[in-house]
Amino acid sequence: MDLDGQIARLKSGQQLTEEEVKTLCEKAREVLSSESNVREVSCPVTICGDVHGQFYDLIELFRIGGDVPDTNYLFMGDYVDRGYYSVETVSLLLALKVRYPNRITILRGNHESRQITQVYGFYDECLRKYASPAVWTYFTDLFDYLPLTGLVENQIFCLHGGLSPQVETLDYIRAMDRIQEVPHEGAMCDLLWSDPDDRRGWNVSPRGAGFNFGQDISEQFNQANSLTLISRAHQLIMEGYNWSHERNVVTIFSAPNYCYRCGNQGGILELDDMLNYSFLQYDPAPRPEGFHKIPRAPDYFL
């Protein structure tokens, strides 16, 4: 496997062949299988939110934040759907993961699922680019192996969505069986779907999955697990990042001009050796030639 060659090709906007995707997913499964449900990460590290198939904005993210392996990264899920380049985006992130397993952490988002990708674009994109659903199957089978959460220096808890009424400790998450399709309910579902809320306690989520959780819940969870911060993604943020729950929670969103029309900035969070943090905000990358001619995935609702 010529990973460096594949990474160079992917960065130039080329696709891998179907056979290369199959092999890459097999190698990635080997790497991810050994990782805990709570993946431990050292600083310095740069934490990123949703990317959603916006490949050229991912390249811009690396231009601003630094390339792997010079910069360590933790991505909090949602690599596919919505954008036009989910195939290239997830291929590049997986190739970097296999090439530099200790330099990049990729967590699972609610869109890393068979069901969601059949509605929001990734399945159709795989079919269009490879004329067969095989590549979609390789990727979605692999998604079952992505870790659910990350833990930076035992202090910053990273995950795609949010907290769950079933989960009081990190050890509970460590003991979960993650190798499955994202369930419709329960702890694993909540970690990938929940959102922080201004109301106290647990409330029904308008998303139809997960919960909305209040500041009292965040404070209690952080205190019980000796954490300083919950870092999560999952929600469009116009400035790219947003503090909530009196800085017990930060939301990071790394897809600028989401869906190519929302007008938001992208954001990433840089943590140095001493866990000092700084946010970087960025605008969308210039679109490539012929961009507007690409068939659009259905919008449904944002």
**Cβ(89)–Cβ(83) under 8 Å?**
yes
Residue 111 among the catalytic residues? yes
Beta strands in 35-193, from DSSP E residues, in sequence order: 38-41, 45-48, 73-75, 104-106, 149-152, 156-159
How buried is 4 (Cβ within 10 angstroms: 0-12 exposed, 13-18 middle, 19+ buried)? exposed
Closest CA to 120 of 80, 75, 160: 80
Contacts of 118 (CB under 8 A, 6+ apart): none
> DSSP letters of 167-209?
--SHHHHHTS---SPPPSSSHHHHHHH-EE-SSSSEEE-TTSS
Catalytic one among 111, 160, 234, 245? 111
Quick one: which of 113, 93, 97 has its CA closest to 35? 97
Say whether 69 sits in a helix, a strand or coil.
coil
Distance CA 46, CA 36 (A): 20
Torsion of CA 120, 132, 134, 107, to 10 degrees: -30
Measure the CA–CA gap between 259 and 245, rounded to whole angstroms: 28
Bridge partners (DSSP) listed for residue 268: 48, 280
Prior bond of 196 cis (ω within 30°): no
Active site residues: 111
